[in-house]
Amino acid sequence: MSRTTRPAILTAALALLVVACGGTSQPRALEGLELAELETYGCGYGFWLGTAEQDVAIHLAVTDPQAVASGELARETTLPDEDWRAAVQHGRDLFANWCDDVLEPGEATPDVEEEWPITGGTITLGDGAVDQPCPGELTASVTELEVTAPDGTTIALGSGEVGNEAWGCFAG
């Protein structure tokens, strides 16, 4: 898995998100979040990004694996779309036990406190074969992603390249 991060920017974004979730500030906290600065987590059919602290996560997941196998998954999708589950999560240990079906004693599990839907933007899959066998690698461009906070505020997440180095691999 490739992982990159800039802790200072992400820590500031997280601190603002926590304040926003507590209701003492507007939920514009995600505006400072840079997609290119997040760590990537490969597995399955989708793209997962998160802070190094694992307390903010972006999930862009294919909802129907059969659409991948049959070649029916569109190369470009405007969100929201029934073929993709797109959301931002806030919590703790959001990628704990990621792509693993064995929970060891004392191992953390994800604790999602809030989930906000991604309500705008486009996912454009790269040139790789979508139905390639595990382990595959696939990239995508995400453009003008937007999330809607519980108070109805729309927050721009921006644009960037995302990747999954374990496309089509699943736990088990």
> pLDDT, tens digit, for every residue of 126-164?
988 888 889 899 999 999 999 998 889 898 999 999 999
Nearest to 38 by CA among 26, 48, 28: 48
pLDDT at residue 59 in the model: 97
pLDDT at residue 132 in the model: 85
Residue 3, sorted as left (phi over 0), alpha (psi -120 to 50) or beta, turns out to be beta
Give the type of residue at 97: N
pLDDT at residue 30 in the model: 65
**Angstrom distance (rounded) from CA 152 to CA 150:** 5
β-pairing, 39-41 vs 46-50, is antiparallel
